């Protein structure tokens, strides 16, 4: 999309919880020091956006606010202190942009920087024609990735692909080990691809056969529909599937991607000796668990807030090399359909990740 003839920008803004997003025409502003203006190629619709609009999660920035944190686009203007060579560059905007200087950043925990800027949460996001963001961690897209994917398709790299990539890398998953994914729509299908690309044995769990079919195509060696399956039986069935794949009986790597209390309960119930559990999906619902299982199994549970921007370079190389493909799991939608798409996403009617394109 190009700028309007009057130089103004288009945006769709959240004005109140539960209300339809409102179309606004905004005055263009120049980027400040350390900032860049990105012309949006695409912005993915994430469960977090739905949480802001429908599930009571508060944005850190005041309303009205442009949501959207899965952004790809082209840098059109930069502020003071930003290299001019960045102008014209195709980029992915990390979902979490840290300061790079605080104690957490210096300790390598950039994803939880307390001065972080998250588009669509702290500041205006990507459901617009343009967005202004801190330029420090913008990730240029290598030509190899653009030979296989359109720039708008790579919007979901910001979160839907980068977050499971970070979770898998943190887990230390190795070839031949068992990786279990609970919830394989959205971010989960990318997690399956990433785990399979490491050479792991992958089992996918979901309540939707369509998503399980996608997971099989993405590299899952076995799938299990857990709808109406008693919790005590899920573990037995998973163990049987693991044996069928020739996977080890212990040291399972478990990834909770559904962002539901049922999914989290299932994931925790699968903990065994030496297992690790990554909580990647988000819900405000609570789950009752026996923490002593962590002691008894010498197991590990950790959260995963987004991804360190420094992993994006390697991730885009994987995409350029063909180890991960985004294209089959995204659906292009015109930005003006955003309210209809949000409604479909809210009611679970989407099979692919919707990317809003101005």
- Common-topology check for domains 9-159+307-357 and 162-303: no
Q: How far apart are CA 104 and CA 112, in angstroms?
A: 7
Q: What is the pLDDT of residues 55-92, one digit of tens each?
A: 899 999 999 999 999 999 999 999 999 999 999 999 99
Question: What values do phi and psi take at 138, rounded to 5?
Answer: -60, 140
Domains of the chain, by residue range, sit at: 9-159+307-357, 162-303
Q: What is the pLDDT of residue 2?
A: 47
How deeply is 189 buried, as exposed, middle or buried, from its count of CB atoms within 10 A (0-12, 13-18, 19+)? buried
Determine the pLDDT at residue 3. Answer: 57
Percent of the chain with pLDDT over 70: 99
CATH level 2 (architecture), domain 162-303:
3-Layer(aba) Sandwich (3.40)
Name the packing angle between helices 47-54 and 338-346 (round to 10°). Answer: 90
**pLDDT per residue over 237-269, tens digit each?**
999 999 999 999 999 999 999 999 999 999 999
CA distance 149 to 358: 18
Q: How would residue 172 be classed by pLDDT, with cut points 50, 70 and 90?
A: very high
Q: Is 339 exposed, middle or buried (0-12, 13-18, 19+ CB in 10 A)?
A: middle
CATH class entry, domain 9-159+307-357:
alpha beta
Quote the mean pLDDT of the chain: 95
pLDDT tens column, 107-146: 999 999 999 999 999 999 999 999 999 999 999 999 999 9
CA distances to 14, 59, 172, 184, 203 from 200, in Å: 41, 37, 11, 16, 10
- The pTM (predicted TM-score) of the whole model is 0.93
Residue 1: which pLDDT band, with cuts at 50, 70 and 90? very low
* Six token digits for residue 38: 């990105």
Residue 201 CB neighbours (<10 A):
23
The whole-angstrom separation of Cα 99 and Cα 34 is 11
Radius of gyration (C-alpha) of the chain in whole angstroms: 20
């Amino acid at each position: 999309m190009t700028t309007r003839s009057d130089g103004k920008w288009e945006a769709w803004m959240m004005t109140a919880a539960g209300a339809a997003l409102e179309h606004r025409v905004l005055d263009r502003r120049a980027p400040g020091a350390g900032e860049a203006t990105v012309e949006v190629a695409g912005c993915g619709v994430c469960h977090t956006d739905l949480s802001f609009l429908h599930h009571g999660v508060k944005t850190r920035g005041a309303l009205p606010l442009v949501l959207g944190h899965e952004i790809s686009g082209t840098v059109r203007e930069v502020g003071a202190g930003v290299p001019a060579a960045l102008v014209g560059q195709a980029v992915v905007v990390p979902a979490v942009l840290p300061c790079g200087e605080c104690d957490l950043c210096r300790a390598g925990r950039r994803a939880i920087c307390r001065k972080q800027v998250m588009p669509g949460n702290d500041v205006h996001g990507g459901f617009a024609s343009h967005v202004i963001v801190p330029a420090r961690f913008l990730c240029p897209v290598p030509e190899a990735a653009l030979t296989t994917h359109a720039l708008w398709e790579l919007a979901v790299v910001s979160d839907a692909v980068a977050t499971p990539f970070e979770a898998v890398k943190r887990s230390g998953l190795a070839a031949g080990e068992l990786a279990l994914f609970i919830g394989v729509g959205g971010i989960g299908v990318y997690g399956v691809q990433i785990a399979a690309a490491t050479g792991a044995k992958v089992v996918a769990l979901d309540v939707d056969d369509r998503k399980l079919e996608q997971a099989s195509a993405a590299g899952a060696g076995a799938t299990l529909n857990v709808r109406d399956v008693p919790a005590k039986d899920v573990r037995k069935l998973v163990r049987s599937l693991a044996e069928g794949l020739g996977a080890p009986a212990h040291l399972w790597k478990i990834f909770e991607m559904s962002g539901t209390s049922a999914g989290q309960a299932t994931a925790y119930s699968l903990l065994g000796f030496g297992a690790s559990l990554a909580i990647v999906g988000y819900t405000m619902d609570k789950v009752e668990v026996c923490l002593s299982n962590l002691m008894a199994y010498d197991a590990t549970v950790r959260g995963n807030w987004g991804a360190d921007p420094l992993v994006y370079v390697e991730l885009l190389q994987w995409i350029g090399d063909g180890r991960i493909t985004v294209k089959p799991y995204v659906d292009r939608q015109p930005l003006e359909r955003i309210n209809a798409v949000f409604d479909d996403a809210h009611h679970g009617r989407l099979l692919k990740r919707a990317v809003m394109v101005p």
